[in-house]
């Protein structure tokens, strides 16, 4: 199984989605379906589950007993710390919060908020496809056409041909502003922000926070059209956060709304994701403090590449609405889920999974969809970095379902 997180460059061979999987993903688009409200009434469903332990809720459906037994072991016997939900479109199989206090000292629940990191990219992909649906944007639109005001910058000619499709599929060849901030921002600007000899005068987290605090959209675009790219566009897949920060800016430019406003109007509000937001919101889980890692948290700096805070309940609402065909039409869903080198539009497609992972120094999150016999299963895992089981849970559930 491919396991990709923000901060890693991964090259993989092209894997086409089978016709069976592609068709089954679109069942919700082509058949009679219930209204969206019934799909996103997750709180009501949770209230009807059996309370197995303090914050662990399980389905009484015998069909899922093996899954419930396995997840009870994970929640109570393993070193897992966090929140999770496993569900279909029709019912919740398992929901839990365990092993980790929230910031108020209470044990986490399925409603506890986490930073979702790179799972934000899935939301960006949906927003871009909605703009394409409304004829405000196209896959072959170039960043040169979108940002002609930067035509006098030294790097403009080299990267102006990068398309929206290149950005979505991680094929731009751009430098990663999150994982290689010094390369992206340049030594001169770095010294201006952090002072001379920052490596000796401050810790990495201190320097990173200084860079975040000084970063804005204008500086990002100036550096984007100045710094030398890593390669020509559409040459190879390289996981890169710059692509999705730029896509967030494209959403703002094309829609005339802020990134937060556009996501709220087109995803959060129709899906009734009342505890999700771009930036911090509500009670958040605690985390294992690390001076070395405690820095990547500025939502404006992360915007598009990360920056959304959500919980397992709201993420299930998003999954059901998206894969059920309530957010995009069939053509857009086909484009959204068509991968190049395994990466689609904010989603990864591999070994029968449609998924994305998200890492920030405080948290790890995973959002998986598995299809079996015409039924979709959603696996949402939000955890502290310590005791992270997310890489094995979806695979084991998939094995149980076979």
Chain centroid to CA 284? 18
d(CA 229, CA 350): 28
Position 12 scores a pLDDT of: 33
d(CA 161, CA 234): 10
Cβ atoms within 10 A of the Cβ of 267, count?
Answer: 22
CA-to-CA separations, 48 to 60, 262, 271, in angstroms, rounded: 10, 33, 20
Give the CA diameter of the chain. 66
| Sign of the torsion formed by the C-alpha atoms of 393, 395, 398 and 402 | negative
158 part of a folded domain: no
Position 299 scores a pLDDT of: 74
CA-to-CA separations, 5 to 247, 253, 316, 387, 391, in angstroms, rounded: 18, 28, 21, 17, 11
Helix (H, G, I), strand (E, B) or coil at 198: helix
Position 202 scores a pLDDT of: 61
Give the chain's domain count: 1
CA-to-CA separations, 68 to 94, 205, 365, in angstroms, rounded: 6, 41, 20
Position 105 scores a pLDDT of: 83
CA-to-CA separations, 121 to 92, 170, 245, in angstroms, rounded: 25, 11, 9
Domain containing residue 326: CATH number: 3.40.710.10
Position 81 scores a pLDDT of: 87
Position 152 scores a pLDDT of: 98
Q: Token pair of 372, please? A: 């079996």
Beta strands, E only, 80-216: 82-88, 92-98, 114-115
**DSSP annotation of 172:** S
254 part of a folded domain: no
What does pLDDT average to in each consecutive run of 10 residues of the chain (402 residues)?
Answer: 32 36 47 82 94 93 97 91 95 93 86 93 98 98 98 97 98 94 84 73 68 87 96 96 98 98 97 91 63 58 92 97 97 96 96 91 90 95 73 91 88
222 part of a folded domain: no
Are residues 69 and 357 in contact, defined by beta-carbon separation less than 8 angstroms?
Answer: no
pTM, rounded to two decimals: 0.90
The b/e string for 170-197 (b: 16+ C-beta within 10 A; e otherwise) is bbbbbbbbbbbbebbbeeebbeebbeee
The b/e string for 336-372 (b: 16+ C-beta within 10 A; e otherwise) is bbebbbbbbbbbbbbeebbbbbbbbbbbbbbbbbbbe
**DSSP annotation of 294:** T
pLDDT digits (tens, 9 = 90+) for 85-122: 999 999 999 999 988 888 788 889 999 999 999 999 99
Position 361 scores a pLDDT of: 75
Helix (H, G, I), strand (E, B) or coil at 275: coil
38 part of a folded domain: yes
Q: Give the bridge partners for 86, in sequence order.
A: 94, 379
Helix (H, G, I), strand (E, B) or coil at 355: strand
Contacts 24+ apart (CB under 8 A), 70-78: 70/396, 70/397, 70/400, 71/96, 71/393, 74/389, 74/393, 75/99, 78/387, 78/389
Position 32 scores a pLDDT of: 64
Are residues 117 and 244 in contact, defined by beta-carbon separation less than 8 angstroms?
Answer: no
Of all helices (H) and strands (E), which one includes residue 82? Answer: strand 82-88
180 part of a folded domain: no
Of all helices (H) and strands (E), which one includes residue 1? Answer: none
108 part of a folded domain: yes
239 part of a folded domain: no
224 part of a folded domain: no
Q: Which residue has the tokens 């894969």?
A: 323
pLDDT digits (tens, 9 = 90+) for 142-165: 999 999 999 999 999 999 999 999
Position 27 scores a pLDDT of: 45
**DSSP annotation of 108:** P
Name the residue range of residue 266's domain.
Answer: 19-142+259-401
Position 287 scores a pLDDT of: 63
Give the contacts of 393 (CB within 8 A, at least 6 positions apart). 71, 74, 84, 366, 379, 381
Of all helices (H) and strands (E), which one includes residue 237? Answer: none
């Amino acid at each position: 199984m491919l396991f990709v997180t923000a901060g890693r460059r991964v090259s993989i061979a092209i894997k086409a989605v089978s016709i069976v999987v592609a068709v089954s993903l679109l069942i919700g688009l082509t058949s009679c379906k219930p209204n969206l409200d019934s799909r996103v009434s997750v709180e009501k469903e949770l209230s009807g589950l059996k309370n197995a332990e303090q914050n662990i809720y399980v389905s009484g459906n015998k069909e899922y007993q093996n899954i419930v037994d396995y997840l009870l072991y994970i929640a109570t016997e393993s070193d897992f710390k966090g929140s999770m939900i496993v569900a279909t479109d029709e019912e919740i199989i398992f929901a839990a919060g365990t092993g980790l206090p929230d910031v108020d000292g209470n044990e986490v629940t399925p409603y506890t908020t986490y930073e979702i990191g790179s799972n934000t990219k899935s939301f960006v992909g949906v927003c871009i496809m909605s703009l394409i649906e409304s004829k405000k944007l196209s896959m072959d639109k170039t960043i040169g056409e979108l940002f002609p005001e930067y035509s006098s910058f030294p790097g403009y000619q080299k990267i102006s041909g990068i398309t929206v499709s290149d950005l979505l599929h991680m094929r731009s060849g751009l430098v990663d502003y999150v994982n290689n901030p010094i390369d992206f921002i340049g030594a001169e600007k770095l010294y201006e922000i952090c002072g001379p000899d920052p490596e000796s005068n401050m810790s990495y987290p201190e320097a990173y926070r200084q860079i975040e605090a000084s970063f804005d959209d204008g500086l990002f675009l100036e550096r984007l059209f100045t710094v030398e790219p890593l390669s020509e566009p559409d040459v190879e897949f390289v996981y890169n956060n710059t692509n999705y920060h730029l896509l967030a800016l494209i959403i703002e430019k094309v829609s005339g709304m802020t990134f937060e406003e556009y996501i709220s109007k087109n995803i959060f509000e129709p899906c009734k994701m009342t505890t999700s937001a771009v930036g911090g919101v509500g009670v958040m889980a605690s985390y294992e403090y690390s001076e070395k890692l405690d820095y990547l948290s500025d939502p404006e700096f992360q915007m598009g590449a990360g920056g959304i805070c959500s919980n397992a309940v709201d993420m299930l609402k998003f999954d059901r609405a998206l894969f059920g065909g309530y957010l995009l039409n069939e053509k857009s869903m086909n484009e959204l889920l068509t991968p190049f080198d395994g990466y689609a539009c904010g989603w990864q497609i591999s070994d029968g999974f449609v998924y994305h992972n998200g890492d920030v120094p405080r948290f790890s999150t995973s959002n998986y969809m598995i299809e079996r016999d015409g039924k979709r299963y959603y696996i949402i895992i939000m955890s502290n970095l310590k005791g992270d089981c997310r890489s094995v849970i979806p695979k084991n559930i998939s094995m149980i379902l076979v």
